[in-house]
Structure 1
Amino acid sequence: MLFFLSVNSIFSQNSDKKGFALLELYTSEGCSSCPPADELLGKIQNEYRDKNVYVLAYHVDYWDKQGWKDIFSNADFTKRQYNYAQFLGKEPIYTPQVIINGKTDYIGSQETSLRNGIKSALSKTASASLNLEASQNENSISINYNVEGTSKNSRLLLAVVQKEAKSNVRRGENANRVLSHYQIVRQLQTVNLNKGKKGTATISLPKNYNALGFEVIGFVQDADSGVILGVKRV
């Protein structure tokens, strides 16, 4: 059915305006069509790890009442997918769905279409540049950000991403399967840029956080159209 960093250390990423592809996957452990998409996005993440290609996997919660509750699901991610449905004029929402740069959606398991979408996105120039520096405290990360070239109503989103996980699913459409997940968004924090394009944001860390298993991906999004203007990994 279709339906990040060691204590007191600093990491920085230079800004540029080269083309980029931000792939936002909407998935669920309760959806039998999702595991192939999860595997494909993991493959793409590994293949493009040194390129301007970024993967974020949001686990939605509308499958949770179908016999299995996804431990990574979040109602806020379902709301984000609904927002994209309005931006793109494509309802109803479904899984597995991939949205590239906030502009175009794809069925998440269709490899040829996704690769063509990545190629097209990389051929275009980013309209915003983003500098990020991160320092870890005991239970949080402080992100210093500097954004240039934003739209009138843009915002910075900071995603805390768990790189990999496995789940033993006992019920639902994927009952008795061990599922592999990649680039799982554990937290997503929004920073309003209307009051300033430079500042510091603090993000609380998940309980199972470890420096090697997590990363932070920041991206600038136009709040009126949903279009992604620029992205960087910390």
Structure 2
Amino acid sequence: MILKNLIGTGAFVALMFTVSAFVHEEKKETATQNISTKNDGFAVLELFTSEGCSSCPPADQLMGEIEKKYKDQPVYILSYHVDYWNRMGWKDRFSSAQNSQRQQEYSNKLGSQVYTPQLVVNGKTEFVGSDRTTVENTISSELNGLNDNKIDLKAKILPKEIIFNYNISQVNSKDKLLITFVEKHASTQVGGGENEGRNLHHYQIVHKQYPVNLSSKEGTATFPIPNNFNVNDWEVIGLVQNTRSGEIVASTKAIVN
């Protein structure tokens, strides 16, 4: 009787060990799957700012800090200087009507107001660009998301133009490729308006953004070289954006040579 009980106990222990090992392996496999599918996202931060706006310098400074903190991760910052502040006593030398139009398009798609400093992340959500906590939380959420679409962008510099070769893993009929020329850093001594007398620092300044219609996954596009462009102080960022929803579905930094 005692022996029988011992045998039964031994079988029970063996059974429990087998079940435990199975559960452990299942958890291990699930964890491996999670590792392979997460942390595959990206974050495109589009800041709408102006040298004439007294609320904008903290947001500009935050973008500089974010750029430094996430320099080895797929976080891409684009600072668009809008032109509607220019009538307030100071003309922003980086401003353009094109930048203001892009912000208006986001306002229409997201149902938001037009204001500065406004930050739009991946074309999906917007908030005040100087809100550090929200910026950090949103970046973390986007980086831990999934991204099924990839883009490869290479550029060759010629004397007066740059030729881009792109390869995109998925193409939707509503998608466009936006090739964006960005100056990494600049400063301005402001002589009027709300920031009169201040020396302002700007980061990831958008100078030109060219749309490319996507009829296939691969292609080339040629654009003129912006004034003062050089590979040390500038970079080129490629975005694939759904023109209907505004969502950015792929992004990368171009390899320029």
Taking structure 2 as the reference length, the TM-score comes to 0.82
Q: How far has the Cα of 1:147 moved from its partner?
A: 1.0
Q: Does 1:149 align with 2:175?
A: no
* Distance of 2:150 and 2:88 partners within structure 1: 42
> How many residues are matched?
216
Work out the CA distance in 1 between the residues paired with 2:157 and 2:59.
Answer: 32
Matching of residue 28 in structure 1 with residue 53 in structure 2: no
Residues 65-110 of structure 1, C-alpha deviation per residue, up to 9 Å, x if partnerless? 000000000101101001001110112x000011000001010111
Deviations 1:200-219 (A, max 9, x none): 11121222112200010001
Higher relative contact order (CA 8 A, sep 6+): 1
Does residue 1:100 correspond to 2:121, yes or no? Answer: yes
State whether residues 129 and 149 of structure 1, in contact with CA within 8 Å, keep that contact through their aligned partners in structure 2. Answer: yes
User: Of 232, 235, 241, which residue of structure 2 is paired with 1:215?
Assistant: 235
Aligned 8 A contact 1:127 1:150 in 2: no
1-structure distance, mates of 2:160, 2:202: 24
> In angstroms, what is the RMSD of aligned CA positions?
1.1
Question: Any residues of structure 2 matched to 1:1-234 within 5 Å, and which?
Answer: 18-91=40-113, 93-193=114-214, 195-234=215-254
SS at match of 2:166: strand
What's the offset of the Cα at 1:38? 0.3
Identity %: 47
Kindly state the Cα deviation for residue 53 of structure 1 after the two structures are TM-superposed: 0.7
Q: Structure 1 length as normaliser, TM-score? A: 0.90
Larger Rg: 2
Which structure is higher in helix share? 2
Secondary structure at 2:88 match in 1: coil
Contact 2:44–2:251 at 8 Å: present in 1 too? yes
User: How far apart, CA to CA, are the structure 2 residues paired with 1:150 and 1:123?
Assistant: 23
C-alpha separation between the residues in 2 aligned to 1:106 and 1:150? 29
Gaps of at least 5 residues in structure 2 are: 1-38
After TM superposition, where is structure 1 displaced by more than 6 Å over at least 4 residues in a row? none
3-state DSSP class of the match of 2:139?
helix
| Secondary structure of the corresponding residue to residue 65 of structure 1 | helix
Structure 2: distance between partners of 1:61 and 1:182: 17
Q: Amino acid of the residue matched to residue 230 of structure 1?
A: A
CA distance, structure 2, for counterparts of residue 34 and residue 83 of structure 1: 20
From the two aligned structures, give the one with the greater strand fraction.
1
Secondary structure, counterpart of 1:225 in structure 2:
coil
Counterpart of 2:147, as a letter, is: A
1:230 & 1:89 partners in 2: Cα distance? 23
CA contact (8 A) 1:159 1:185 kept: yes
Cα displacement (A) at 1:224: 0.3
User: Contact conserved, 1:150 with 1:229, CA < 8 A, in 2?
Assistant: no
For structure 1, the residue ranges without an aligned partner over 5 or more in a row are 1-16
